[in-house]
Structure 1
Amino acid sequence: MSEENTNSRIDYTLILIIIALAVISIFTLYTLHPFLLEKYPNATYYMSQIKWYIVGTAAIFVIMFFDYDRLRQVSWIFYALGVIALLMLYFHFPPGIADEVNGAWGWFQIPGFGSLQPAEFMKVFLIIFLAHIIVVHNEKYPDHTVKMDLWLLVKVGITSLVPIFFLIKQPDLGGVLVLSSITVCMILVSGIKWRIIFSITVGILIIGGTAFFVYLTFPEQMSTFLNDKGLSHVTGRFDAWLNPDEYSQGVAYQLINAMLAIGSGQLSGKGIGDFEMISKIPEYHTDFIFTSIAEQFGFIGSSIVITIFFLLIYRLIHIALKCKDPFGSYIITGIIGMFAFQVFQNIGMSIQLLPITGLPLPFISYGGSSTLTYMIAIGIVLNIYYRLKTYMFDES
């Protein structure tokens, strides 16, 4: 007979990883401060980042007071609030509050508070709601027939496509890709038969490969088509990725200077505050903060950052595997998908491995909404770990 007990614990390893990333973020923003003052005279981004980490820490303490299982009861409320916020941005409502930044309607400018980006919070809201949908479906249909698996796939797909639609309209390509990666990761662990997943994957690869081949074969025609559909930002990023030298003074300007900054750091970097290339990159404190680290601290510093992210993902996978509750496991899986994709995409776009998208580097890039979202996600993981249930004869 198994004996169940609740081992209340704090995951200090995960906390130390987040502290390390926070220190890197704040210190990097501090070294960038003199250069940022030239563009933003009244801004102190490193102090603002400290403030957001404090707010995020307070959010974690609040989250720890509640059993994460209660999220199942309110998951649809969070999801609905997120969709309503995206809907308001779609209609540019309310006037004067809904704000356009770099051609994208993705922010609310709240007096006395600052900017708020609903798409960031939507990531966590979607994870929680998808976890609830999958758990309820599997409880109702414990036998995984093809029909029921397809029905679950439809429910997950529709739930994800609603916020994805609004992010496409903003436009926010990075947010679309993150929500898609979250959805894919959660589908993989949902219990849907692998032959269904494999068939769909093959179909997507064929369609995607064909579209990419057509784009390479008929670039002008495809660019015209996408521009007519309001997706000119997509064609610009593909052009910059595939032919950076040709567009070095246009859409590839950031990419070329980012690679030059990373390369100039060489093995050990130029030293703290020594920037020669980074000032030529418009978003070197947000989307391209990895280049700031690489130029100052070189390959060694960059490798340390990547290693810490590897430890973060490894730790999250470890907790997900130990969790016996499906709801908790699904949530952590979605969070893993969110972090893993953003780290890979952000660093990959800086070295021309992937096209440029407006995605921050988790916990390091400056950003109030993003930092708070990541801290909330970590708070939920800590809550799940704190309430892990173990059974007699289980490994500790």
Structure 2
Amino acid sequence: MTKKQSYYMQTDLIFLFVLFVCVSLLAIYNAQQLEQYEGTNFVLRQILWFAVGACIVAAIQFLDLEQLYKASIYIYGASIFILVLLLISPESIARTINGAKSWFTLPGLSLQPAEFTKITTILYLSAVISRHKAKYEGSNLKTDTFLLVKLLVITAVPVFLILLQPDFGTAMVYLFIVGMMIILSGISWKIIMSLTVIISTVSAAVIGFIIKFPELAQDLIGIKQYQVNRILTWFDPTQQSSDATFHFDRAYLALGSGQLFGKGMGSLEVNYPEAHTDFIFSVIGESFGFIGSALVIFLYFMLLYKLVTLGLSIYKNSTFGSYFCFGFLSLLLIHVFQNIGMTLGIMPITGIPLLLISYGGSSILSTMLGLGIVYRVAVEYTIQNDYLFK
């Protein structure tokens, strides 16, 4: 192996990826033992998605960060165009599923554009922050407000289009990402705290209104009955019907029944919907117990730690690469917290998958797209670090 080739062997990221693939395939294989999955082999499909995702990671290595930085606005614009195209497409290619028009449904293939737009939005947000910092060396109230407005507008466009689908869970992911990037961008804490107070007040008022007047909320806000039930169940499961709490009850039962060491492979006893996607963590808990669940959480911790250290290390050489790492970290963090949190009952139930583990083509491919850019950041940091100490 030549020295140039060694730059592309980021063994820590490769090792983490292989571990996630193994966990995902084992969990999905176990989920398939449930009656709802007879005749469908999701493991083979997941292997295919991971293989395509690995090719995406490899393809991204032919681009450098400067090229991605310059192309970020066009990539972002293309993803916004696809979201608009989704909304105006006929039902034949963009079928409404569970009340939301979120998928392109082609023969043998379904893709959710909003998953990919998460990555393109992070990419463009990173470029905007990097460009702003290069232009304004010293920050003040005026420049910080200008940056804040730009970040909010960039995020508001995909959020608005996703709310039209409607997909409130995915829209909330975007808001968390931009919130984290605003905090990390160096904007004055006075502005951030003022914005936090406003958002918290409005959010509390909206949630309180939904809880107090659920029927009126459906008419005024456009929220669906099942979404109202999820919020009410989150606040007080004991006051809801068994139908409203069914998903949570079954997933929670499966998770707890694994106890310390789990029931092992092929020994699932609790049947519940969407075990291979939304509630994959319950499958892990029932199969491998508290020990297995803790190891999976530790695996995510290691990936998040890698993103933090990489982002901090490359900051002096590439603020763009640094902020992309932080943005991707935010994406992983909210998905892991929300997905595991809803299984434990501390978060409302949404359709947000457990990234790199839940089954799903759009989820895997979009995450691998982001991971490919992170991998490129790691490669360029290794090259720069090697030249520095020559």
Q: Does 1:348 align with 2:364?
A: no
Give the Å deviation of 1:320.
0.5
Give the Å deviation of 1:220.
4.2
Q: Does 1:288 align with 2:285?
A: no
Give the Å deviation of 1:343.
0.3
Which residue identity does 1:225 align to in structure 2?
Answer: A
Q: Does 1:298 align with 2:322?
A: no
Q: Pick the aligned partner of 1:192 from 187, 192, 217.
A: 187
Give the Å deviation of 1:344.
0.6
Residue of structure 2 in register with 1:175 after alignment: 170
For residues 1-396 of structure 1, what are the structure 2 equivalents within 5 Å? 8=7, 10-35=9-34, 38-91=35-88, 93-112=89-108, 114-213=109-208, 215=210, 219-232=211-224, 233-277=226-270, 279=271, 281-323=272-314, 324=316, 325-388=318-381, 389-390=384-385
| Secondary structure, aligned partner of 2:186 | coil
CA–CA separation in structure 1 for the residues paired with 2:144 and 2:325: 22
CA–CA separation in structure 1 for the residues paired with 2:55 and 2:365: 10
TM-score normalised to structure 1 length: 0.91
| Secondary structure, aligned partner of 1:105 | coil
CA–CA separation in structure 2 for the residues paired with 1:97 and 1:69: 36
TM-score normalised to structure 2 length: 0.92
Instruction: List alignment gaps of at least 5 residues for structure 2.
Output: 1-5
| Secondary structure, aligned partner of 2:266 | coil
Give the Å deviation of 1:102.
1.6
Encode CA deviations 1:283-307: one digit per residue, 9 max, x unaligned: 1110100001101111111111111
Give the Å deviation of 1:115.
0.3
Given that residues 89 and 106 in structure 1 are in contact (C-alpha distance below 8 angstroms), is that contact kept between their aligned partners in structure 2? yes
| Secondary structure, aligned partner of 2:25 | helix
Given that residues 57 and 372 in structure 2 are in contact (C-alpha distance below 8 angstroms), is that contact kept between their aligned partners in structure 1? yes
Q: Among the aligned pairs, what percent are the same residue? A: 37
Which residue identity does 1:88 align to in structure 2?
Answer: L
Encode CA deviations 1:108-153: one digit per residue, 9 max, x unaligned: 01235x0011011001000011111112222222221211211111
Given that residues 29 and 45 in structure 1 are in contact (C-alpha distance below 8 angstroms), is that contact kept between their aligned partners in structure 2? yes
Deviates more, 1:224-233 or 1:158-167: 224-233
Cα distance change of structure 1 residues 111 and 311 upon mapping to structure 2, 3 Å threshold: same
Which residue identity does 1:209 align to in structure 2?
Answer: A
Which residue identity does 2:160 align to in structure 1?
Answer: F
Cα distance change of structure 1 residues 226 and 254 upon mapping to structure 2, 3 Å threshold: same
Which residue identity does 1:128 align to in structure 2?
Answer: L
Which residue identity does 2:323 align to in structure 1?
Answer: Y
CA–CA separation in structure 2 for the residues paired with 1:62 and 1:88: 26
CA–CA separation in structure 1 for the residues paired with 2:386 and 2:43: 45
Given that residues 119 and 167 in structure 1 are in contact (C-alpha distance below 8 angstroms), is that contact kept between their aligned partners in structure 2? yes
Give the Å deviation of 1:210.
4.1
Instruction: List alignment gaps of at least 5 residues for structure 1.
Output: 1-6
- Across the aligned residues of Structure 1 and Structure 2, the Cα RMSD in angstroms comes to 2.0
Give the Å deviation of 1:227.
4.3
Q: How many residues align?
A: 380
Cα distance change of structure 1 residues 81 and 265 upon mapping to structure 2, 3 Å threshold: same
CA–CA separation in structure 1 for the residues paired with 2:118 and 2:207: 27
Give the Å deviation of 1:14.
1.8
CA–CA separation in structure 2 for the residues paired with 1:30 and 1:313: 26
Encode CA deviations 1:328-386: one digit per residue, 9 max, x unaligned: 01111100000011001100000111111110001000000100111111111110110
Given that residues 275 and 296 in structure 1 are in contact (C-alpha distance below 8 angstroms), is that contact kept between their aligned partners in structure 2? yes
